[in-house]
Amino acid sequence: IVNGEETTIENHPYQVSIQTTKGSHFCGGSLISEDCVVTAAHCMQSYKASEMQVRLGSTQRNSGGEVIGVKAFKFHEGYNSDLMVNDVAVIKLSSPVRFTSKIRPIALAKEAPKSGTKATVSGWGTTCFMLCSSPNNLLDVVVSLLDVKDCSSDQFKYGSKIMDTMVCAEGEKKDACQGDSGGPLVANSQLVGVVSWGNGCAWSGYPGVYCDVSTVYKWIEDTCAKL
Ligand code: 4AZ
């Protein structure tokens, strides 16, 4: 998270850290039920389920909360790593979690977000592109949503790279960054986006790009139920 503020897990009780079983954080995710987590498909390309764990209920990336194994994961059949369309996956936890003030699921947005809506993105990703380290304390930042039409307009520099399954979010020097991938973009207490990609982080003309949850919520619900 670039230009964000330190926050606590109570403010984002759906936020999880996806880690190797050695405890190394590599992506964010969002709890949506007692045993299902939404993340980015591109986060699930490097490890097997048995090599991953999920830390829930902790403000710190490397300690505290609960650590639960991964039973299985599945990424979207329409995921394309060149185009980054449908960059979404779900993880089934090896056992259900108990909800507390620090562990609580978030509702999926079922309608496309409107340009200009304020949203919050959170995570343990880097505080700048390439040269910054990952913070141990959870950070968040407020950004403004841009629909596909606005994000592909001449005001920005992505053009036709912005596809129907994406939503963008911009802020004055504010953005998600490396290691925030898979994590939550939340507006009106609903998960509207999954951190997906961008050209750099908080670079002028290049908003953060997210998987638009409203285009895949049915797939998420169905896949969680079947895994
Ligand atoms: C990444 O590499 C990444 N500024 C995530 C988010 C953004 C850029 C890169 C958006 O994981």
CA of 126 to the centre of ligand 1 (A): 9
CA of 142 to the centre of ligand 1 (A): 16
Separation of CA 41 from chain center: 10
Radius of gyration in angstroms for the set of CA atoms belonging to the chain, rounded to a whole number:
16
The per-residue pLDDT for 72 is 98
Kindly give the number of the ligand 1 atom that is closest to the alpha carbon of 206: 4
* Cα dihedral 131→132→134→139 (10° resolution): -140
Walk along the chain (227 residues) and give the pLDDT tens digit of each residue: 999 999 999 999 999 999 999 999 999 999 999 999 999 999 999 999 999 999 999 999 999 999 999 999 999 999 999 999 999 999 999 999 999 999 999 999 999 999 999 999 999 999 999 999 999 999 999 999 999 999 999 999 999 999 999 999 999 999 999 999 999 999 999 999 999 999 999 999 999 999 999 999 999 999 999 99
Catalytic residue check, 87: yes
Mutate to test the pocket of ligand 1, among 44, 129, 177, 185 (most ligand atoms within 8 A of CB): 177
Written as one string, the DSSP assignment of 25-89 is EEEEEEE-SSSEEEE-GGGGSS--GGGEEEEES-SBSSSSSEEEEEEEEEE-TT-BTTTTBT--E
Catalytic residue check, 35: no
Indicate whether residue 195 lines ligand 1 (CB < 6 A): yes
| Single-letter amino acid, residue 50 | S
The per-residue pLDDT for 128 is 97
ipTM: 0.96
Catalytic pick among 12, 25, 42, 76: 42
The residue written with tokens 């939404």 in the block is: 38
Residue whose Cα lies nearest atom 4 of ligand 1: it is 201
The per-residue pLDDT for 87 is 98
Provide the token pair at 137. Answer: 């304390």
Catalytic pick among 12, 35, 58, 87: 87
Please give the backbone phi and psi of residue 176, each rounded to the nearest 5 degrees, phi first: -80, 165
CA of 15 to the centre of ligand 1 (A): 17
CA of 98 to the centre of ligand 1 (A): 31
Residue whose Cα lies nearest atom 2 of ligand 1: it is 178
CA of 57 to the centre of ligand 1 (A): 24
The per-residue pLDDT for 64 is 98
The residue written with tokens 């991938």 in the block is: 181
Q: What pTM did the predictor assign?
A: 0.98
Indicate whether residue 197 lines ligand 1 (CB < 6 A): yes
